[in-house]
Amino acid sequence: MDAAKERQNRIETQISQLESAISKAEILPGSSNGAEISRSAVGTRITVKDKDSGEVIDYTLVDAREADIGLRRISIQSPVGQALLDLGAGEEVSVPTPKGTLMYVVENVTAA
């Protein structure tokens, strides 16, 4: 019986957290998928080029709950996500990582 009450309590806590998140949610301004925009923000896709390796990488900037590195959806709360916020095409940024600092050039920013 105690296990059932604990489980119910966990579920009710999760429901409360989801209700809180929904009540604070904001609808972002609409934009056609793939349309180029001027600055990176939550929900945008940013294409960067590594200055050292020349590798081109696409990231989608998302909230922590939506992050999935396998899909290149990175949290804006992460160091990389924070470094890539509010950038436009042509800008350079240094991104601190545990393996060292990465130097990126923003190629473009589009609606995800």
In contact, 104 and 49? CB cutoff 8 Å:
yes
Q: What local confidence, expressed as pLDDT, does residue 37 receive?
A: 80
- Please, what are the domains in the chain? 29-111 (3.10.50.30)
Question: Sign of the CA dihedral 18, 27, 66, 24?
Answer: negative
Question: Cβ distance 106 to 87 under 8 Å?
Answer: yes
pLDDT of residue 7: 93
Q: Is the pLDDT of residue 16 over 60?
A: yes
pLDDT digits (tens, 9 = 90+) for 24-70: 776 655 555 666 788 999 989 999 999 999 999 999 999 888 999 99
pLDDT of residue 35: 66
pLDDT of residue 82: 94
Segment among 13-17, 47-51, 97-101 with least mean pLDDT: 97-101
